[in-house]
Copies of this chain bind each other. A is one copy, B any other.
């Protein structure tokens, strides 16, 4: 439980919530889960909901109840927070370096099914040594660079070399398959651009899978995909598991994507509730700035039309009413729509889940700040 007190109590009116606070519209969230889970599960794939988007075990449990096979996350500390709160299948969909981190992950495998990615031999050695010492099994996915130019191996020969090293640590390590996530494809604006990027990713992933099979290894899982691209991964017949995360909360940057013809975009379920602290003739100021909203993907927007966000400073947002728009008064509570959910959620310790104007739950963001 967080050291920061919650900004609301169950049963409060949303208007009574202390500010700034992260709001989750439960009806939008539930519709988003129904939409994306229905689509992915309907296509016969597994959905592994990405917990890095919300960092909140209560949300993760609802995703598992709605058919997700488990959660993925990016940090060992996030995996620990999810397992501590009842998630029994976690994948660290990221390469992990550090003997201490490997030891923690190996220990976690006593309490849950734990997967992790690798793209170099050092990682395999650290994970294998730790799991061997702990007497547990870590399931390993070889991360392939399918277009992100970030982590991941490039040559199929590297994948085979890693698989051999993983096999040498059996039963402490077990090769599950490939991590094939194309990050930049998520934010390509047109369906055509996303389709092309995922088709290219599929060709690359298939080459690595074929190299594994040709060398006598298995490849039971190819995991990847995200909120922007998942309709395209579904159609390739290659991926077995989709890692979408942002679909649950959504943000302005994903809403800016042109939807695929056959698939609706999820709706923005995440807002930041703010209070007007200063009202001048030409602008007004809210009590939420860079410490409550991320700006890496652009400024947030006001939920109510007619107000433009001039800018954010550490603790303030300054808004300009357009001509003819109403001018709010000091003390009024208004809502901002985050441009990027993941780093915005990471700034808050609590998320206030509401329905019909009332607070239904206040959930700790238990994996917030789990940087290592």
Contacts and interface: CB of A to CB of B under 8 A. Distances in A.
Query: How many interface residues does chain A have, given as a range?
Result: 35 or more
A85 to B, nearest CB: 13
Q: Is the interface of A mostly helix, strand, loop or mixed?
A: loop
A296 interface: yes
A37 interface: no
A209 interface: no
Contacts of A75: 315
A229 interface: no
Contacts of A7: 372
A291 B18 contact: no
A342 interface: yes
Interface in A133-168: 145, 149-152, 154
A102 to B, nearest CB: 11
A369 interface: yes
Contact of A97 (B283, B316, B331): B331
A302 interface: no
Interface of A: 1-4, 7, 18-21, 52, 74-75, 77, 94-98, 100-101, 119-120, 122-123, 145, 149-152, 154, 183, 275-280, 283, 285, 287-288, 290-292, 294-296, 312-316, 318, 330-331, 340, 342-343, 346-349, 368-372
B96 A277 contact: yes
